[in-house]
Amino acid sequence: MKYVKRSIKKVDGYGILSGKPAYTDDLAPRNSLIVKLLRSPYAFARVRKIDTSEARSLEGVECVLTHEDFPRIPFTRAGQGYPEPSPYDKFALDSYVRYVGDEVAVVAAKDEQTAEKALKLIEVDYEVLNPVLDFEFSEKSPPIHPEDGISGVENQQNNVCSAYEMDIGNIEEELKKCAHVVKHRVYTQAQAHVMMEPHAAFSYIDYQGRLVVVTSSQVPFHIRRILSRVLDIPLRNIRVVKPRIGGGFGGKQAVHGEIYVAAVTLKTGKPSKIIYSRKEVFESSYTRHPMRIDVTLGSDEKGVLKAIDMEILSDTGAYGEHALTTLMVAGSKNLPLYNRVNAVRFKGKVVYTNHTPAGAYRGYGAVQGNFALESAMDILASKLGLDPVKLRQLNMIREGETSPIFKIMGEGREGAEMTIKSCKLEQCVELGKRIFGWSEKFSKRPESGTKVRGVGMAIAMQGSGIAKIDMGSAILKLNDDGSFNLLVGATDLGTGSDTILAQIAAETLNVPVKKVVPYSSDTDLTPFDTGAYASSTTYVSGNAVKRAAEKMKHLIVQHGSKLFNCSEEEVVFNGEEIIGPEQRLPLSEFATKLYYSENQTQLCSTASFVGDEAPPPYMSAFCEIELDTETGKITPVRYVAVVDCGVPINPNLAKVQVEGALVQGIGMALYEEVKYDSKGRLMTNSMMNYRIPSRLDIGDIEVHFVESYEPTGPYGAKSVAEIGIDTPPAAISNAVYNAVGIRLHDLPFTPEKVLKALRVKEGF
């Protein structure tokens, strides 16, 4: 392979590092109205009356909107394939506010100062209601969504947003027969994405009278559809463009401020923009779903797993975006790891609370589920007196195998059957074990002294897109100089998808990568793509690109044969030249002729791809931590990760994805504490108080790859975007147990919590 498996530089890297205007706020028209949102100070309230007259009459204010100005159309903000597996429980603006930070009114003014002033002039008469702040009591509390006209909610009265269950075999019977049964409960927190660029969007009416929305979003096509629904305007009159984005991690897989800027632009006819403050990103975008997960494992005397039972209670906050799907992924992307059991049961509920809504976040339930399952596996290993690695080796899924869960559990619906065609998990475990020095470290006697070291491990799997649902497409067009424009709907969040898709096209066409010019994520100019989530870009969009490139090759041969007046079989295109029986033409000359002189035709190919399966990437993780037993502080020392993502299209970029995800997982495990006060206000709502890992907080991280070949993937590739985040909570918890014999089960493992657990163990 010439262009695939090459660590070429990102095509946009140079420009971005040079500071070229590329992000949403850089591109917004200078005369944009500044849009600010009045947000609820209460966790739960009804807006009895809202008086915007003073705000409206303030000089410089162009527009003030309340719930009375929007058609009452329920929708989901979730950026998912239609029909979305999330309830339609949100209105653009509503007479109920359901969390501190929920939108109450929209102000558009000539500058930020005026807009801020206007916000203060809006008078709202709230009927303050009692908020539901503990998800373990949501079902016994009065409804947060008592209103009519919403749909897709499992049980409005009981605050149950979604529910799901499935079972295979007879779990109770199997567990009875097991020699060893372990139970474990974990709690995970509402982790914040903290992407470096806050949410941003601007809109304007173009000279055709169409609404153009430029937004920092992972899902431009879903945004277009949602805007059409919510604002009640035809989809064809909306164009959504994604410029460069400063990170997303799932936090931009939904509609956020776009509705409001669009509404303002439609009302005033003027360009308008909204840039979220960091506080708004924390309080009023999304978080990860906090979950309580109970796992029961049953095995025989040797440690062969016979039964797994997983039960989840998930907190979706005020609205149900991504609720059902994250619940299901917690199971579907973990349970198949141990596919040879006789019985599996999975059930869960997602409940509403008056917290900041939870939504999509890298890992998407898999990391929460992994924490529960991989901790429980270690408990079992300990009970059996088995090396944790051995226990995984006895039970983990292997190439050529399958699991009934693949067919039963998709995302929000049934899934798709899949036999694992590429899985080097065994090798990942072996290699990781060796590089890390696991056997020697694990068998070391626990030390005395105040600083103790421990080692732990975990394995994980994820997916490559959503089978039968996620569709990506690509258009290739030949230019008269022999270069190609590659138009893809796929969304580059900084991950480098533009680059790797160009690499795939280049490989297929056999032309240098620099001859493929990617342009992405513009609903007018690029073909459909569900967007950047579910680890879909490399696998789904990549396959579409490969197909489009193959079609283009054929078109070139076809037109070459016309030009040379021979049959297609006699023509060869080798990337540089079109070679006939008697002639050969360099591609650029061929293209020039084709544009200007003979049989003039624009060569353009298009292709789409939907996966029949979502082949999982796999990984093993080995970590060493140091625990200060006097303060409870856990310091990561070393993290070795070995990943099978098929063939890495760009090894550097694949590596950076995993490294970045690991650090986010370490943050989730150790540092990222979320605190609400008793009235439901998010207290950790700034980067000053919510600490993501700095470069000194993570120890050494080594990422290695074991290549497998996924036959259904482009050049053997699977996706790699999410899997890196899955293992740190479990691996670190397991390492702590190895060090000091306490089982941490409540994220994050702050020094204070660890110290408490240590003292409990010592009998205090």
Closest CA relative to residue 624, chosen from 725, 698, 726: 698
1 binds other proteins (CB under 8 A): no
Between 30 and 445, CB nearer to other proteins: 30
* Sole window of 97-105, 192-200, 227-235, 571-579 interacting with other proteins (rule: CB under 8 A): 192-200
Tell me the chain's radius of gyration from C-alpha atoms: 27
**Shortest CB 483 distance to other proteins, Å:** 22
Between 339 and 497, name the residue whose CB sits nearer to other proteins.
497
**Site for other proteins, residues 723 to 752, rule: CB under 8 A:** 750-752
Size of the site for other proteins (CB under 8 A): 71
Choice between 186 and 275, CB closer to other proteins:
275
Ramachandran angles phi, psi of 53, nearest 5°: -60, -45
Least distance in Å: CB of 251 to other proteins? 10
Q: Is 247 in the site for other proteins (CB under 8 A)?
A: yes
In 3D space, the residue among 230, 228, 252, 240 whose CA is nearest the CA of residue 79 turns out to be 252
Least separation, in Å, of the C-beta of 16 and other proteins? 4
Q: Which stretch, 6-14, 51-59, 432-440, 567-575, contacts other proteins (CB under 8 A)?
A: 6-14
The residue range among 160-168, 381-389, 655-663, 713-721 that interacts with other proteins, by the rule CB under 8 A, is 655-663
Q: How far is the CB of 641 from other proteins (least distance, A)?
A: 10
Spatial separation of the C-alpha atoms in residues 641 and 708, rounded to whole Å: 16
The tally of CA atoms less than 13 A away on the side-chain side of residue 511 is: 27
SS3 568: helix
CB of 682 to other proteins, least distance (A): 11
Examine residue 631 and tell whether it contacts other proteins (CB under 8 A). Answer: yes
Q: Which stretch binds other proteins (CB under 8 A): 122-130, 398-406, 574-582, 678-686?
A: 678-686
Q: Does 655 bind other proteins (CB under 8 A)?
A: yes
Using the rule CB under 8 A, which residue among 1, 2, 14, 127 binds other proteins? 14
Q: To the nearest whole angstrom, how small is the minimum distance from the Cβ of residue 586 to other proteins? A: 30
Distance CA 726, CA 664 (A): 10
Q: With contacts defined by CB under 8 A, name the span among 17-25, 34-42, 235-243, 511-519 that binds other proteins.
A: 17-25
Q: How far apart are CA 581 and CA 403, in angstroms?
A: 52
Interface with other proteins, residue 625, by CB under 8 A: no
Contact between residue 249 and residue 661 where contact means Cβ atoms under 8 Å apart: no
Residue whose C-alpha is closest to residue 393's, from 441, 433, 444, 363: 433
Residue 125 and residue 50 in contact, taking contact as beta carbons nearer than 8 Å? yes
Distance separating alpha carbons of residues 17 and 24, to the nearest angstrom = 16
Using the rule CB under 8 A, is 663 a contact of other proteins?
yes
Does position 180 interact with other proteins (CB under 8 A)? The reply is no
Instruction: Identify the burial level of 174 via C-beta atoms within 10 angstroms of its C-beta, where 0-12 means exposed, 13-18 middle and 19 or more buried.
Output: buried
H-helix or E-strand spanning residue 627 = strand 618-628
Cβ distance 515 to 483 under 8 Å? yes
Measured distance CA(491)–CA(331) in Å, rounded: 27
At 716, list the tokens.
């053997």
Indicate the helix (H) or strand (E) that contains 548.
Answer: helix 542-564
Is residue 218 involved in binding other proteins (CB under 8 A)? no
Residue 514 as a binder of other proteins (CB under 8 A): the answer is no
Alpha carbon 249 to chain centroid, angstroms: 5
Question: Interaction with other proteins in 680-699: which residues (CB under 8 A)?
Answer: 683-684, 686-689, 691-698
Stretch 23-42 residues interacting with other proteins (CB under 8 A): 23, 25-26
Cβ distance to other proteins smaller for residue 92 or 274: 274
Please check whether residue 432 is in contact with residue 621, taking contact to mean a CB–CB distance below 8 angstroms. yes
Determine which residue in the list 210, 279, 413, 679 makes contact with other proteins, applying CB under 8 A. 279
Among 47, 161, 194, 647, binds other proteins (CB under 8 A): 194
Question: In terms of CB distance, is 414 or 677 closer to other proteins?
Answer: 677
* Cβ proximity to other proteins, 152 vs 665, nearer residue: 665
Q: Indicate if the alpha-carbon torsion angle 702, 708, 714, 719 is positive or negative.
A: negative
Is 367 a binder of other proteins (CB under 8 A)?
A: no
Task: Give the other-Cβ count within 10 Å of 111's Cβ.
Answer: 11
Q: Does 656 bind other proteins (CB under 8 A)?
A: yes
Interface with other proteins includes 58 (CB under 8 A)?
no
Give the residues across from 481 on adjacent strands.
none
661 binding other proteins? (CB under 8 A): yes
Closest contact distance (angstroms) between CB of 9 and other proteins is 4
Query: Using CB under 8 A, which of 74, 101, 152, 198 touches other proteins?
Result: 198
CA distances to 40, 154, 388, 424, 469 from 85, rounded to whole Å, are 27, 12, 37, 32, 12
Beta bridge partners of 477: 485, 604
Minimum separation from the CB atom of position 485 to other proteins (A): 23
Q: Rule CB under 8 A: is residue 237 a binding residue for other proteins?
A: no
Nearer to other proteins, 207 or 764 (CB): 764
CB of 12 to other proteins, least distance (A): 8
Residue from the set 99, 249, 352, 609 that interacts with other proteins by CB under 8 A: 249
Q: Which helix (H) or strand (E) holds 740?
A: helix 728-740
Residues 444-503 binding other proteins (CB under 8 A) are 493-496
Under 8 Å CB-to-CB from 14, ≥6 apart: which residues? none
Tokens, residue 259: 């509705």
Cα–Cα distance between 598 and 490 in angstroms, integer?
35
Handedness of CA 92, 94, 98, 104 (dihedral sign): positive
Min. distance of Cβ 709 from other proteins in angstroms? 23
Given candidates 398, 444, 675, 761, which one binds other proteins under the rule CB under 8 A? 675
